[in-house]
Amino acid sequence: MKIGFIGLGIMGAPMALHLVNAGHALFYVKRSKVNADIAASNATAFATAKEVAQQADIIITMVPDTPDVAAVLFGKDGVAEGLSAGKLVIDMSSISPIETKVFAQKISALGCDYVDAPVSGGEVGAKAASLTIMVGGTEAAFAKAEPLFELMGKNITHVGGSGDGQTTKVANQIIVALNIAAVAEALLFASKAGADPAKVRQALMGGFASSRILEVHGERMVKRTFNPGFRIGLHQKDLGLALQGARELGVALPQTAGAAQLMQVCAANGWGDLDHSALVKALELMASHDVAKG
């Protein structure tokens, strides 16, 4: 297939490489910094998203936030200007479910299909092609996109119509944030009480409290390895989407609001570019005690 990929960041670059390595023709927008593996591949760079869309049959976007998707799709020299009937746009960013429905309507009006397919699994999952992919869109559009998803992920679910993929991703981010906060509080409590947090974590991994968050992010908290797999700033954005949606739906999400405040403490202290496991630093600040010494 001829595929355009816009957004070759921490997640996007390895995802795009899986498509290139599978033999697909890849087109991307040239930037000052381009992933070295992408640059060394047979992928072709163009100056604008419009040119990428003109060349490709399927255009994938993987950018940070809702305004970024809007700009890439509908801004000057954007994807929409290069579309012709029958093409497919796949947004794999994590953005507003409400705005996603608007984007889908605009793309549909141009005679093209639109799929929202946010992912979970972080940089590790992107590199290993083991991402969880949550998909919203028509059955026909999903069927067209599924072979590409299978090159990037393992757990691929067509949830429903436009926006349902993004709704699922918001739900995912609520669960992940609350689990990170729970692990952080538990390890902080144990450390403050004088126990070895590494051994506490090891013990908990054998019981009902065991989780992927305790395994991966608990280790990060103990070893103080907060280099980003998924940045606090991005997770903070996702929790903002959750709380915005909750207001519109008339739903109370008190635990989500608490986790969002902890991330705000991190952002206010200049830790927004750290991995989201660094949420523990907000609790450590309030306790005047670190889980472990780096």
d(CA 29, CA 126): 20
Q: Among candidates 284, 179, 275, which has minimal Cα distance to 232?
A: 275
Residues with a known catalytic role:
169
Q: 164-192 and 232-249 are packed helices; what angle lies between their axes, rounded to 10 degrees? A: 120
Maximum separation of any 2 CA atoms in the chain, in Å: 65
d(CA 251, CA 211): 27
**Structure tokens, 127:** 């590199």
